[in-house]
């Protein structure tokens, strides 16, 4: 016999209150990680990480039961490292739907919920500090063909202490950190989150601000480089690219930071003008134009055009000897 769908929906609705559990949160915490108790590997209490960059940061905890109907009773306790137990009474509230404790120092906290649904929740509060984030150029004199960045990143707080409630032994949570290079305006940075000292051979042609951001479990920090570009780029266009002899082509310079120019037209003629006059090809064939530029800082770049096709003239020349 197949039961109707509405029967299963009713069963699920009846079971929801029993599936939901109490919840312990830490408003304002940056992140959290699970505990790892050698005496109870299956127990995973939350370790809440706050950023204490100012030195005055305090923690906040909120407990709420999602099973049954309020009101409940909440009894809060703090870890006592002397007795190796949660024996310091912090606060007791009765007949409420949830409970909050504020202005908390680093350490362990436990709340016992009673009054229709009994449970115990434990957590730890730890404080992080801003990590080390330093950014500089590996080539402070700058190089024409690349930009080499040099980043330094490290957590200020290497690990966070907490305790195994079963044994009272001190444990530690290792701090983690990530980094990311970026630039504004956006430019090429290879593997910006994997390589702390990236080198780009596609350097920016405009001034950019490089940013090196470091994030730990609780805090973030960054450093910047105000980069003044020295890089050059040889570029131009040719019009038309095909036609009958004699073919006259117009060149449009699109280079960046060109100071000295050399145009090699491929027919044994050269120009050193930034904006040369239209060039004329008299003989049929294929030609390419090579542009080489040099900046005031002696950076050099060159680019060659696609093939320019000069076709034989279709103009009919009358034979003067034909009667």
CATH of domain 20-128: 2.60.40.10
Q: Residue 179 and residue 72: Cα distance in Å, rounded?
A: 45
Class of the 132-227 domain? mainly beta
Tokens describing residue 259:
């100071």
- Identify the helix (H) or strand (E) that includes residue 100: strand 98-104
Cα 164 to Cα 49, 214, 222: the distances in Å are 18, 31, 35
- Residue 246's nearest CA partner among 286, 277, 284 is 284
What is the reported pLDDT for 12? 40
Q: Give the domain ranges of the chain.
A: 20-128, 132-227, 236-311
* Range 236-311: architecture per CATH: Sandwich (2.60)
- Fold match flag (20-128 vs 132-227): yes
Closest CA to 289 of 273, 275, 269, 274: 269
Low-confidence residues of the chain: pLDDT under 50: 1, 7-20
Tokens 């030609």 correspond to 287
Number of helices followed by number of strands (H, E) in the chain: 1, 27
pLDDT value of residue 141? 86
Q: What is the pLDDT of residue 14?
A: 41
Full DSSP string of 23-69: EEE-TT-SEEEE--BTTBTT---EEEEEE-SSS---EEEEEE--SS-
Confidence (pLDDT) at 203: 97
Of 195, 221, 224, whose CA–CA distance to 208 is shortest?
224
Using DSSP, state whether 104 is helix, strand or coil: strand
Q: What is the pLDDT of residue 243?
A: 97
């Amino acid at each position: 016999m197949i039961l109707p769908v509405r029967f299963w929906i009713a069963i699920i609705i009846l079971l929801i209150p029993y599936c939901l559990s109490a919840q312990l949160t830490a408003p304002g915490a940056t992140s959290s990680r699970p505990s790892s108790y050698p005496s109870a590997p299956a127990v995973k209490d939350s370790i809440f990480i706050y950023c204490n960059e100012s030195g005055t940061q305090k923690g906040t905890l909120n407990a709420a039961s999602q099973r049954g109907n309020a009101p409940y009773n909440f009894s809060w306790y703090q870890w006592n490292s002397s007795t190796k137990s949660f024996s310091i009474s912090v606060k007791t509230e009765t007949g409420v739907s949830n409970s909050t404790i504020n202005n908390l120092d680093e350490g362990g906290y436990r709340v016992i919920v009673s009054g229709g649904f009994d449970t115990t929740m434990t957590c730890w509060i730890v404080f992080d500090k801003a990590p080390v984030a330093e950014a500089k150029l590996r080539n402070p004199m700058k190089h024409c063909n690349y930009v080499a960045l040099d980043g330094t990143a490290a957590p200020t707080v290497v690990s966070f202490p907490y305790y195994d409630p079963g044994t009272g032994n001190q444990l530690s949570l290792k701090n983690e950190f990530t980094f990311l290079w970026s630039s504004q305006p956006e430019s090429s940075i290879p593997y910006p989150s994997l390589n702390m000292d990236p080198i780009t051979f596609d350097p920016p042609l405009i001034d950019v601000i490089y940013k090196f951001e470091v994030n730990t479990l609780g805090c973030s920090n960054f450093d910047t480089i105000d980069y003044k570009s020295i890089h050059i780029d040889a570029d131009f266009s040719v019009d038309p690219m095909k036609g009958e002899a004699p073919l006259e082509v117009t060149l449009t310079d699109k280079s960046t930071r060109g100071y000295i120019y050399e145009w090699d037209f491929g027919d044994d003629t050269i120009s050193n003008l930034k904006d040369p006059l239209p060039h004329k090809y008299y003989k049929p064939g294929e030609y390419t134009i090579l542009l080489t530029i040099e900046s005031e800082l002696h950076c050099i770049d060159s680019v060659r055009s696609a093939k320019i096709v000069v076709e034989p003239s279709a103009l009919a020349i009358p034979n003067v000897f034909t009667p």
